[in-house]
Structure 1
Amino acid sequence: MLIDTHCHLDAAEFDADREAVWQAAMQSGVRAIVIPGVTSATFQPIMDWCAQHPQAGFALGWHPLFVDQAPEDALQQLQQTIEAVLQGPQAHQLLAIGEIGLDFYITRDNEAHQIAMFEGQLQLARQFALPVILHVRSAIDTVLKYLRKHGIQQGIAHAFNGSRQQADAMAAQGLKMGFGGAMTWPRALRIRQLAAELPIEHLVLETDAPDIPPVWIGHQGRNSPDQLKRIAGEIASIRRIEISQLIEMTGKNSVQVLPKLAHLCT
């Protein structure tokens, strides 16, 4: 199964042709797409879209780059939203808590606030027995620290860009690692090496569309989920396996780590 485990289909870049982008992805062989929330303002639009598209699933969470916009009761509101969804007709489409995590790349001035929001959302993941979809940038060891503290053992480290040692630590914690357009760039040597050498059971596919475009689109282009099969082909090539095998294995990995995906791919 070809599954895009991370795609911001709700982004403004798709406002003009969102349905066409969706249809192109389905026609390219994508079986399911995971759309993560990044602020509370994105939750309802994402859920409304998914309600009309049975092969779409969603995650709900506050992205670390936006936590300074969160109201004081953001965690309480998120908890109430999750409770309502899990009691309603879209319970099967709520796949995870996400996109959550830590980002110390741009600034660490709000580190304490990022960590507080991250921990609060990890507690919600435990409370509702949901996996996590993680944003991790310049903070892998710190993220691992809090995953261990809260006993989180299921989720995806989206757009993974760490060392082999950190990748092994993520895998030992029960997480899969997302690979997408970044590894198609020839100069992305570390990511390409990880994509080539990590045990295949630790890999899942993603686009992060409209962001992280593959090399054939270029840095300024808009990424889209219909590129996933070609990205899978690039990973299969550097691993020297058939693309069908890569798609089958990463599909199984995706369903293993986000179990409700099985309901979307039938």
Structure 2
Amino acid sequence: MYIDSHCHLNFPDLQAQLPDVLERMRAAGVGHALVVSVNLRDWPGLMALVERYPFLRASVGVHPDNDTEDDDGAEPTLDDLVSRAAHPKVVAIGETGLDYYRLSEPLEWQRERFRTHIRAAHATGLPLIIHTRAAAEDTLRLMREEKAPGGVMHCFTESWEVAQAAMELGFYISLSGIVTFKNAAQIQDVARKMPLDRLLIETDSPYLAPVPYRGKLNDPSRVIHVAEKIAELRGVPVSAIEEASAENYWRLFAKAAVPA
């Protein structure tokens, strides 16, 4: 069974065609998906979605690139996250992290938001889903300072050295459709070198559709193309990637294996 370890099935583009999306998942052999939270405003709708389907699980968190106005003018508190994480279908904290891509200088509230999420992971015992963009050094520094309890570096786009540092802190590395792109030499290097027991695969749908669908709407069925590219890069059968990534998912997100 393939598992999409990071998608946004609650986003409008996928919600508009949800029956077809779920059928494509089934036909492709994608038997489970983690629907990842990016704000608290939309969290009730996300939970209504995952509660309808036994093969879906959720996270709770606020994306680092969402400013406070996007989230009703208030920063997420530790209690906001911990109380929602008690839901039986919530298996992770995030996505969280740091994103400096559009910033002229780092924002302190973004760092504090990241710290709050790490503390929520400590309080709940749930793994973190970390987003980092143009901020690897600070992301790793805060992970060390707060003694981040483990999780996954989602949609990984950094160097092998950053991957090694994250794995030394107990984190998994999740690769997305970007690994199929022609200009993705750095990520492909990580895909070749990383130990299979730390690998997850994801779509980040509706974004980042893999080749041959690049530029089109993405959905969880296309996680198989991520697996196929990693298998090609490593010179192994795609079944090895399917099996290892699924085993790693259940190990990391242990709560997901509990019927809910």
Q: Give the secondary-structure state (helix, strand or coil) at the position aligned to 1:195.
A: helix
For 1:1-266, list aligned pairs within 5 A: 1-69=1-69, 70-71=71-72, 73-76=74-77, 79-80=79-80, 82-83=82-83, 86=86, 90-91=87-88, 93-109=89-105, 111-219=107-215, 221-263=216-258
TM-score, normalised to structure 2, is 0.94
| Aligned 8 A contact 2:3 2:30 in 1 | yes
Distance verdict in 2 for CA 1:71–1:16, change over 3 Å: closer
Percent of aligned positions that are identical:
26
Give CA-to-partner distance per residue, 1:97-151, whole Å, 9 cap, x none: 1111100111144511100111111111111111110111011121111111122
Distance verdict in 2 for CA 1:232–1:126, change over 3 Å: same
| Aligned 8 A contact 1:40 1:61 in 2 | yes
Q: Structure 1 residue 27: deviation in Å?
A: 2.3
Q: Give the secondary-structure state (helix, strand or coil) at the position aligned to 2:142.
A: helix
Alpha-carbon RMSD across the aligned residues, in angstroms, is 1.8
* Amino acid in the other structure paired with 1:96: A
Q: Give the secondary-structure state (helix, strand or coil) at the position aligned to 2:41.
A: helix
Give CA-to-partner distance per residue, 1:174-217, whole Å, 9 cap, x none: 11111111010122111111111211112100000010111211
Q: Structure 1 residue 26: deviation in Å?
A: 2.2
| Aligned 8 A contact 1:4 1:228 in 2 | yes
Q: Structure 1 residue 261: deviation in Å?
A: 2.5
Q: Give the secondary-structure state (helix, strand or coil) at the position aligned to 1:260.
A: helix
| Aligned 8 A contact 1:67 1:113 in 2 | no
| Aligned 8 A contact 1:175 1:257 in 2 | no
**Alignment partners' CA distance in 1, 2:210 and 2:91:** 26
Q: Structure 1 residue 81: deviation in Å?
A: 5.7
Aligned length: 259
| Aligned 8 A contact 1:32 1:261 in 2 | no
**Alignment partners' CA distance in 1, 2:84 and 2:102:** 34
Q: Give the secondary-structure state (helix, strand or coil) at the position aligned to 1:134.
A: strand
Distance verdict in 2 for CA 1:163–1:80, change over 3 Å: closer
**Alignment partners' CA distance in 2, 1:178 and 1:192:** 12
TM-score, normalised to structure 1, is 0.92
Gaps of 5+ in 2: none
| Aligned 8 A contact 1:181 1:214 in 2 | yes
Q: Give the secondary-structure state (helix, strand or coil) at the position aligned to 1:5.
A: strand
